[in-house]
Amino acid sequence: MARSEIRCELSWSASRAREFDRCRRESWYARYASWGWWTERPRGEKWRAMVHKNLTSLPAFTGDCVHRAIEGWFRARARGATLDAEELFVEARALFRTGWRQSAGGGWEQRPNKSVHLDEHHYREPIEKARTDAARDLLLQSSRTFCEHPDLEPVRASEPDSWRAIEALDSFELEGVKVYAVPDLAYERDGVLEIVDWKTGKPREEDRLQLGIYALYAHAKWGTPFDRVRLTAAYLGAGEVKRVPVDAAWLDEVRATAAESIARLAELHYDPDVEDTDLDRWPTDGAPRACRWCRFRGICEGALEGNGGGGSGEGQG
């Protein structure tokens, strides 16, 4: 077996944990089936798995456009310009249109791991106008919430020298494992580290876990005491800004939840460069519940055997 230059090491993130809990086979496709695709000649199963791994849904893509537009808002602010809601919306819409063209027009094929490739385009499923209208409304409402919600005024007024992280992928160690963290915004205000997460979906209980992980990350990265961390979930689409109280007991729970999840992932982790795959260890336990929306439904036996309730077209992947 050809060895990759880099090793397939166990790592953890809140989204990886959700994926694993949804379906172990999905986790295998995403983390192991595509491993080493960049060395595969000629292109084959690894490449195919990587293409499916990079599929995104319309709501997730729309949310990503909001995140990137806000990141651009901060870049403009650092240059001394402040975009209003309409200007932010125009930025987000431009990102959406660019990504849409890349996905629908096949431009993603040049660099599938770095491009927008919508699940709906891949599986040739119709996207009703109501859904694109809803995406547009989400871009607009999110832009308004960011630029106009009174509770986000301190964010908008923050000075660039107070910013500690903006959409920066980073990691820290927990239970001896690399844990990824990408806080949307971390900045200092009156001696407190404010961490804000932009959300374009509905409030979910698991959002609190994600924010708790950011508090652990801030402690590991900057040594910020927990009583100097403030966590905020900004539900931009819903126009709601919620504080998540931080206390030691809750953070112990967050740490314990992450540790349990890491242990579950560690039990199955293997190095596909040097070990054989035992698919029995990665059952299709998400089927049929999770198959309809799973990006691997076109190649996975769990869906293809007919118990997945979807995944009709295999598309170009």
The mark string for 273-302 relative to ligand SF4 (x by CB under 6 A, - otherwise) is -----------x-xx--xx--x-xx--x-x
Minimum CB distance to ligand SF4 smaller for 23 or for 58: 23
31 binds ligand SF4 (CB under 6 A): no
**Residue 110, Cα to own-chain centre: how many angstroms?**
22
Provide the terminal-to-terminal Cα distance of the chain, rounded to the nearest Å: 24
Total residues contacting ligand SF4 by CB under 6 A comes to 16
Compute the least distance from the CB of residue 28 to ligand SF4, in Å.
8
Minimum CB distance to ligand SF4 smaller for 201 or for 309: 309
Please choose, from the candidates 249, 186, 172, the residue with its C-alpha nearest in 3D space to the C-alpha of residue 216: 172
69 binds ligand SF4 (CB under 6 A): no
Give dist(CA 312, CA 291) in Å, integer: 11
* Ramachandran area for residue 37 (φ above 0: left; ψ -120 to 50: alpha; else beta): alpha
303 binds ligand SF4 (CB under 6 A): yes
Q: What share of the chain is helix, strand, coil (3-state, %, to 5)?
A: 50, 15, 35
Residue 145 phi/psi, 5° resolution? -60, -45
48 binds ligand SF4 (CB under 6 A): no
Give dist(CA 317, CA 113) in Å, integer: 12
Compute the least distance from the CB of residue 45 to ligand SF4, in Å.
15
Site for ligand SF4 in 218-257 (CB under 6 A): none
Which span (23-31, 129-137, 216-224, 266-274) binds ligand SF4, by CB under 6 A? Answer: 23-31
Compute the least distance from the CB of residue 311 to ligand SF4, in Å.
6
Q: Please give the residue whose beta carbon sits closest to ligand SF4 in the complex.
A: 302
Compute the least distance from the CB of residue 283 to ligand SF4, in Å.
8
Out of 25, 53, 199, 221, point to the residue binding ligand SF4 (CB under 6 A): 25
Q: Which residue has the tokens 């206390």?
A: 247
- What is the per-residue DSSP string for 107-162? GGGGSTTTS--BHHHHTT----HHHHHHHHHHHHHHHHHHHH-GGGHHHHH--GGG
26 binds ligand SF4 (CB under 6 A): yes
Compute the least distance from the CB of residue 286 to ligand SF4, in Å.
3
Compute the least distance from the CB of residue 287 to ligand SF4, in Å.
4
CB count, 10 Å around CB of 156?
14
Which spans of this chain sit near ligand SF4 (rule: CB under 6 A)? 23, 25-26, 29, 284, 286-287, 290-291, 294, 296-297, 300, 302-303, 308
